[in-house]
Amino acid sequence: MSTSTPWLSNSFPTSSRLDVDSSALHSSLEGISLSESTLSESYNDSGHFASFVTLVAGLERSLNNEDPLFLDLDIWLSSNRTVIASGASSRVEKVGWNSGNFKGKYKERWGNFVALKYTRHHTDASRAIVNWKQLLSEVRALLHEPIRYHPNIVRLLGITWGAVEGMQSNFPALVLELSEMGTLAQLQLNSEESLSFDIKKKLCLDVAKGISILHACNVVHGDLKHENVLVYPNRDTSASVKYVAKISDFGGSVMDLGADDFRSLHTPTRPWLAPEFFSSNGMSEIELKLTDVYALGLLVWRTIVDGQNPYLPLHSDAEPMSDSQIYQMKCSNELLDLAKEGVLHLKLGIGSDGIDTLHYVFENTIQFIPSLRNCYDHAHRSYASRVALRTDATNCT
């Protein structure tokens, strides 16, 4: 089997035409771990508002001479809004704004519309605390410099306040760069024809690079799936693929793990979970990162089959798999075999090398035994995976 994976190389040159501040990114690669941040201690079950302001103010000071994240009064946000996503804990709206008054870097890149992400109000006090923690997790992840300046992570532009009609919530709202193309799931399902293999490879590579920088910063995403990957036009006009994928939704991310700490994932989605989640009361940082690797393999598989449910049986007349059947397949290498078999029909279009590449990726991600998912380097507390879980930033761990 060929193990040559040119689209999953171990180094990713940065183009000045990409949506990344290269100098800011490279200058911030020292001491990037979030685990020792004293800001994590600012949160408690009371004083949520003050804790949030303290957190953001502290993170703000660490940024590269950017203007305040709390949006000034001269930043106008339109009252004419369109709901583009809605879940149990949050809602996202497309909103017009006067970007000309935005003082942040690269203000010309963000266009006339942004995405506003609101946290839903809950009368249950315990649920409200969970919502605050998820909001703090998302802000901390998106404002950590190597993550903030990475071209495959959604950009947080600012933070604003104000109760939202129909939401009954006075949580801070996150102002994020808007994806007119939507999620990876929407792009694939709404495309009139299948995306080319080169486009699919590029989008998967973008996601792998995004996961790489998160892991280099000791952040576990915890809910990697098509619906949490946004697609944007590629700002590199000379690029052969006109899309860029960016990871979003960090409310369930896990960070601040010490050497002896064990945690669970906060907001995972069952179909895309690694099997060990169901049999573990807590996992180490290494083990949690490997759940992201497993989810990455499933995302690659789903991308290759045009965003469809990859768990559908190979025979069209068979019954759909139940959750318990899927789980049982994950608890052996039966699912890995299904993934490898499920792409064989593409051989005519992508050739033997393409099939070998996909099989190689699956063999290094969709493994029942976590330690077989990559070549983890325990000595450096970082892993250099041959399935594109490295970037130029991995030398910071």
Could you read off the pLDDT of 57-75 as tens digits, one per residue? 777 777 765 656 666 555 6
Please report the domains of the chain, with CATH numbers, ordered by start residue: 6-20+181-396 (1.10.510.10), 31-177 (3.30.200.20)
List CB contacts of 115: < 8 A, sequence separation 6 or more: 84, 92, 93, 94, 95, 175, 176, 177, 178, 179
Residue 206 CA to residue 282 CA, distance in Å, equals 29
Q: Which residue has the higher pLDDT, 3 or 239?
A: 239
- The distance from CA 238 to its chain's CA centroid, rounded to whole angstroms, is 26
Spatial CA neighbour of 275 closest among 330, 219, 202, 220? 330
Q: At what angle do helices 334-342 and 285-304 cross, to 10 degrees?
A: 30
Confidence bin at 110 (pLDDT 50/70/90): confident
Please say if the pLDDT value at position 353 is more than 80.
yes
Question: What is the number of residues in the chain?
Answer: 397
Residue 371, pLDDT > 70, answer yes
Does residue 396 surpass a pLDDT of 50? no
User: How much is the pTM?
Assistant: 0.81
* Average pLDDT for 390-394: 35
C-alpha 220/C-alpha 263 separation (Å) is: 11
DSSP at 66: P
pLDDT for 73-85, tens place per residue?
556 778 888 999 9
Predicted confidence at residue 48, as pLDDT, reads 65
Complete DSSP assignment for 147-206: HHT-TTBPPEEEEE--PPTTT---S-EEEEE--SS-BHHHHHHH-SSPPPHHHHHHHHHH
Name the pairing type of β-strands 113-119 and 156-160: unpaired
Q: Give pLDDT, residue 64.
A: 64
Strand ranges for the chain from DSSP E: 77-86, 90-97, 113-119, 156-160, 173-177, 229-233, 243-247, 376-377, 382-383
pLDDT digits (tens, 9 = 90+) for 178-207: 999 999 999 999 999 999 999 999 999 999
Which residue, 183, 159, 174, is CA-closest to 246?
183
Does the pLDDT of residue 151 top 60, yes or no? yes
> What's the mean per-residue pLDDT of the chain?
78
375 three-class SS:
coil
Residue 298 — pLDDT band, cuts 50, 70, 90? very high
